[in-house]
């Protein structure tokens, strides 16, 4: 039986939500008291907030992934010869169109920035530094959906006893384009961006007062799934993937299907055709505006509907030597990282369509999971025939087939992978704590979502 922590659900739905809610606009002091940090390649000036938090925004953790660096692994950040003001967030990485409306955000291909929030006296800590929380944002590998996450609320909630860092990473074709030209070490560059940020924390966080031996990765949705992918990285055999962090938290974790290069080649072929390019070098030389104009969501081959999250990792023989389920079965992962992971009860309700027929449900599911067979779909429909009768205490407001589609997607893409991972890790002796959030909120229930995706964060 998996280990249980009686307070884990309330921690992730009440305390953690309160930490995030505590983040609020605060005043900054004058530049005379502005904190500064020397990272070797650059000197940054942050902002001292009136709540006792030093805020460093928009620092580079890698070189701009533009021009010849497009579709390539991240490089170390370039040297800066002058003092750089770290007063505002860096640009957010371009996502797949249509993007979520975000009028207050700046988007750019030059987007590999990291933010650090630290108590003003963190560098004076005499116990080897403060623990560090490194946030990996979600967005299904097609968007940076939690860009500019404010870490100061977490610091206030812990009375100044932690450091929080957040960062952007490449998504969509910029982070997960796959073809055989890229097999020479440039697949899954979005995951390598994440690793570059983790390495940056290991190299530099002590300069902000952090303890490089106490780094916890945490994320929600595909950010949580990314935590688990780093557990599997290089089959558990990479010093870079395993020595730079100590523990992980995966909330409402979404672990996308991992395909072969051949299975994901259709994105590359579509982009070539749409941009009138003939090869990868042409795509690298195009102005980013022309590439982004054709960066649209398309269906998987043989499907009629576009997938919600059409991009994702591929088996590359390096970072991902095989599919996560196989790596888990073979025990090819690091085993010294305590992990908290879990899900909300009805993860799929925010994604499901208003289905009118079983065929509508099947078409939606196969658009997201093109490997599903007719036999598997039939079995799934049978298993979920009593939905939504299984939502005790919730006065459901949507049609039954909507909830069936939601339950089938939620189970296959969120809950089952979480349970499978927890069981596999526990079997290998990894300290793992699994939760399922069943706490009902009247607003979410009234909207028909019950306990939806990311409600546990």
The model's pLDDT over 403-415, given as tens digits with 9 standing for 90+, comes to 888 888 998 999 9
Q: At what angle do helices 374-383 and 358-368 cross, to 10 degrees?
A: 120
Least confident among 52-56, 224-228, 252-256: 252-256
Q: What is the pLDDT of residue 11?
A: 31
Whether 413 is catalytic is no
Q: What is the pLDDT of residue 208?
A: 96
Please report the DSSP string for 236-254 in residue order.
GT-HHHHSS--EEEEES--
Which of 221, 241, 343, 412 is catalytic? The answer is 221
Q: How confident is the model at residue 239 (pLDDT cuts 50, 70, 90)?
A: low
Please report the DSSP string for 311-323 in residue order.
---B--SSS-SS-
CB 224 within 8 A of CB 249: yes
pLDDT score of 139 more than 60: yes
Q: How confident is the model at residue 46 (pLDDT cuts 50, 70, 90)?
A: very high
Q: Give the mean pLDDT of 439-456.
A: 79
Q: What one-character DSSP code corresponds to residue 303? A: -
CB 139 within 8 A of CB 170: no
Closest by CA position to 111, among listed 148, 82, 151, 56? 148
The model's pLDDT over 60-78, given as tens digits with 9 standing for 90+, comes to 999 999 999 999 999 999 9
φ, ψ dihedrals at 280, nearest 5°? -65, -40
Give the percent of the chain with pLDDT over 70. Answer: 88
Q: What is the pLDDT of residue 14?
A: 34
- According to the CATH classification, is domain 8-344+417-438 in 3.40.640.10? no
Q: What is the pLDDT of residue 65?
A: 98
Distance CA 409, CA 153 (A): 33
């Amino acid at each position: 039986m998996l280990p249980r922590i009686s307070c884990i659900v309330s921690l992730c739905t009440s305390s953690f939500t309160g930490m995030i809610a505590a983040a609020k606009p605060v005043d900054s002091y004058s530049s005379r008291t502005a904190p500064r940090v020397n990272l070797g390649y650059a000197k940054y000036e942050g902002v001292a907030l009136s709540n006792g938090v030093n805020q460093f925004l928009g620092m580079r953790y890698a070189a701009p992934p533009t021009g010849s660096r497009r579709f390539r692994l991240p490089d170390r950040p370039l040297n800066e010869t002058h003092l750089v003001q770290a007063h505002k967030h860096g640009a957010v990485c371009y996502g797949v169109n249509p993007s979520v409306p975000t009028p207050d955000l700046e988007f750019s291909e030059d987007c590999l920035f990291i933010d650090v929030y630290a108590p003003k006296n963190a560098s004076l800590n005499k116990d080897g530094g403060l623990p560090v929380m490194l946030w990996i944002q979600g967005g299904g590998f097609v968007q940076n959906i939690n860009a500019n996450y404010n870490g100061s609320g977490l610091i206030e909630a812990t009375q100044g006893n932690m450091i929080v860092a957040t960062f952007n990473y490449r998504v969509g074709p910029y982070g997960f384009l796959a073809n055989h030209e890229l097999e020479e070490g440039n697949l899954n560059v979005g995951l390598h961006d994440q690793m570059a940020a983790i390495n940056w924390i290991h190299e530099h966080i002590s300069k902000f007062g952090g303890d490089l031996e106490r780094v916890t990765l945490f994320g929600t949705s595909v950010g949580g799934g990314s935590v688990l992918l780093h557990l599997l990285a290089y089959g558990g055999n990479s010093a870079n993937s395993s020595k730079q962090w100590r523990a992980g938290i995966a909330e409402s974790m979404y672990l996308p299907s991992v395909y072969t290069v051949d299975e994901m080649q259709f994105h590359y072929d579509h982009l070539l055709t749409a941009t009138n390019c003939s090869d990868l070098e042409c795509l690298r030389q195009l102005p980013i505006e022309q590439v982004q104009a054709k960066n649209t969501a398309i269906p998987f081959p043989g499907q009629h509907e576009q997938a919600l999250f059409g991009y994702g990792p591929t088996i590359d023989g390096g970072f991902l030597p095989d599919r996560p389920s196989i790596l888990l079965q073979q025990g090819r992962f690091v085993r010294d990282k305590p992990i908290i992971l879990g899900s909300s009860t009805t993860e799929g309700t925010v994604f499901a369509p208003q289905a009118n027929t079983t065929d509508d449900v099947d078409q939606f599911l196969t658009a997201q999971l093109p490997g599903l067979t007719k036999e598997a779909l039939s079995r799934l429909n049978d298993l979920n025939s009593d939905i939504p009768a299984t939502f005790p205490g919730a006065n459901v407001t949507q049609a039954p087939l909507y909830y069936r589609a939601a339950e089938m997607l939620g189970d296959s893409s969120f809950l089952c992978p979480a349970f499978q991972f927890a069981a596999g890790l526990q079997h290998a002796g990894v300290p793992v704590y699994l939760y399922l959030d069943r706490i009902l909120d009247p607003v979410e229930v009234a909207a028909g979502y019950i306990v939806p995706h990311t409600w546990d964060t």
